[in-house]
Amino acid sequence: MSNLRQQFIEFSVSAGVLRFGEFKTKAGRLSPYFFNAGLFNNGSVLGKLADFYAQTLLDSGVEFDMLFGPAYKGITLASATAVSLAAKGHNVPFAFNRKEAKAHGEGGTMIGAKLEGRVVIIDDVISAGTSVRESVDLIRAAGATPCAVLIALDRMERSGPDEALSARSAVQEVSLNYNMPVISIANLNDLFEYISDAGTGAELSQYKSAVENYRNRYGAPA
């Protein structure tokens, strides 16, 4: 696990965003961990989170011209990441959408810079891929090109029925369907490695077996 990935997992745990116990997912599965990016909710942690997004994007080598944040969580994430990128010497425009079209003033559903060139979609996680699909449609309709999706955590689990052992993960489906990379700051393997390391995640080692069992049962094929 890269140092950046390890730092992100540790940061998420310390911020109370990544928690361990027993949580029911949207798919009805009982997960031993839960990641809630909505809890990155003050200026200090949001700034650190944006730095992780920005550095991960730069390290990926993906060539891009601007950022797009799908409503609602993506709005803050794209805005903050643009600020962090500018501080790192990469000043790029960003845009985001409204859920409902505005009938007065400037009108429409888009806010920010004009969508053009190669656009990176920024969100917290990918569950069903609905947000990505809507974002891709908006970007293409504007004549721009969606070139990558950047998320915080890849759960790496099958998106289909539990009995469909060959099902892809939501991230794999998005990458395949839209022929573009999905970049994550960290993933389930990084999380497992963190709690398995007696030097860093010792206090969380009690959850190692549960996370491993969950990964074995629901993990998507590589």
Secondary structure (H, E, C), 86-114: HHCCCCCCEEEEEEEEECCCCCEEEEECC
pLDDT at residue number 66: 98
Whole-model pTM: value is 0.92
pLDDT 10s digits, 89-116: 999 999 999 876 554 445 468 999 999 9
For the chain, what is the mean pLDDT? 90
Catalytic residue among 73, 104, 114, 208: 104
pLDDT at residue number 102: 54
Q: What confidence category does residue 129 fall into, taking pLDDT thresholds of 50, 70 and 90?
A: confident
Record the tokens describing residue 173, joined without a space: 């489906």
pLDDT of 180 above 80: yes
For the chain, the structural domain boundaries read: 3-218
Question: Which residue reads 């990084």 in tokens?
Answer: 190
For the packed helices 3-14 and 43-60, what is the interaxial angle rounded to 10 degrees?
160
Catalytic residue among 24, 90, 102, 114: 102
Q: Answer yes or no: 90 catalytic.
A: no
Task: Please tell me the CATH code under which domain 3-218 is placed.
Answer: 3.40.50.2020
pLDDT 10s digits, 24-60: 988 889 999 999 999 999 999 999 999 999 999 999 9
